[in-house]
Amino acid sequence: ASTGKTSSALKMSAHSMTTEFYDSLGSKHQITVEYRKVSYSPENGTEWSIMVTVPEPGVINNDPEAGAYKNVLTGNIRFGTDGALIGYSPSVINYTANNGSAAGQTIALNFGTLGGFDGITSNDRKSNTENIAQDGYTGGTLNGLRIDQSGKIIGSFTNGHSMALAQVSMATFTNNNGLEKLGGNVWGETANSGGPVIGAASTGSRGKINASTLEMSNVDLSHAFTQLIVVQRGYQANSKTITTSDNMLNTLLQLKQ
């Protein structure tokens, strides 16, 4: 008689990771995710249970009507036979800190691309956490400003983050030579120049913005050089007139003598 082969029982595995996140007031909280292996099959891969926990008095997916005030949420995550992520739940949770911050804060859980290996995977090795990233931050005060080439005013804050606060606009005209010179490198719109077309720097025919830089003169050099020659010729002609008058006066004085 033949004897069939039997496999050993499923070996349970568990892993836990903790990361920080921030509410609308910039207060720091911790969220813990625990994984427990629950099933395996050669056809469907492995399935793990997920337990998401936040410290009290915070609650997850607060539903007063259902009486679901709790700080623990369960779900699952599944991996294919090659160890790639093929599905997980939940992907989004709603968190209320109960500390005066905005209620129902949405927290997205991103374990990676489905079918890919760019996030969480299931391989034959000891469970460990190699990288955790989150985009929240604590409150900070403005401590610096700079302007990039597109005209965006970037503010840097004491919490190490930077963000665009505003953007400097630029204007173009149908006929730039038709602008009226107002002095002090300031030009004004005229009927000859046409109306301004306002937009962002480095778009269309607009130039870029150089921060902390003194603007050079925008005078037409060829026109200015021509005018300089005209002035020079005029000065030379006037000086000849003065010389001629001086000679005439000297001759007059000699006649009197």
The pLDDT tens digits of the residues spanning 15-72 come to 889 999 999 888 989 999 999 999 888 878 899 999 999 988 889 886 655 455 588 8
225, part of any domain:
yes
Domain that holds residue 238: 221-257
Read off the amino acid at residue 75. Answer: G
174, part of any domain:
yes
pLDDT of residue 7: 47
Same domain, 196 and 226: no
Same domain, 33 and 84: yes
Provide the greatest CA pair distance for the chain.
158
- The total number of structural domains in the chain stands at 3
Same domain, 41 and 103: yes
Q: What's the whole-number average pLDDT of the chain?
A: 84
Section 192-215 average pLDDT:
83
CA–CA separation, 114 and 88 (whole Å): 9
CA–CA separation, 71 and 50 (whole Å): 14
CA–CA separation, 16 and 14 (whole Å): 7
